[in-house]
Amino acid sequence: MSEDQQTYETPEMTQEQMAEKRKQLDAFYEDVIPHLEKQLKYEELRAAIEMARLKNLQAQVAMANMMAPEPDEDEDDEPTEQPLRRTLRRDK
């Protein structure tokens, strides 16, 4: 076999070795769980803060839309008055 295609065989474990490995994993998980619970609480709080910010922004947009003047539906895109035509000043 080439070096790129190595196969890994699982070592044969006795019942005692498997029980010891389970104890090690249990101890690891018991040690890590409090940290993960703190991280979960932190992430939930951050998500709640972001949702509150979003709701605040949506309320501001709604208020701005209510306060904005209504566009006139009668108006065309072109102005009704002719714009003033500027001319060059002539010397007398």
Nearest alpha-carbon partner for 32 in 24, 20, 21, 42? 24
Round to whole Å and give the CA distance between 32 and 27. Answer: 9
Per-residue confidence (pLDDT) for residue 58, from 0 to 100: 97
- pTM for the full predicted model: 0.51
Structure tokens at 68: 């904005």
Mention every residue, 6+ apart, whose C-beta is less than 8 A from residue 1: 7
Mention every residue, 6+ apart, whose C-beta is less than 8 A from residue 36: none
Give the model confidence (pLDDT) of 42-79 as tens digits. 999 999 999 999 999 999 999 999 999 888 765 555 55
Which residue shows structure tokens 């500027």? 86
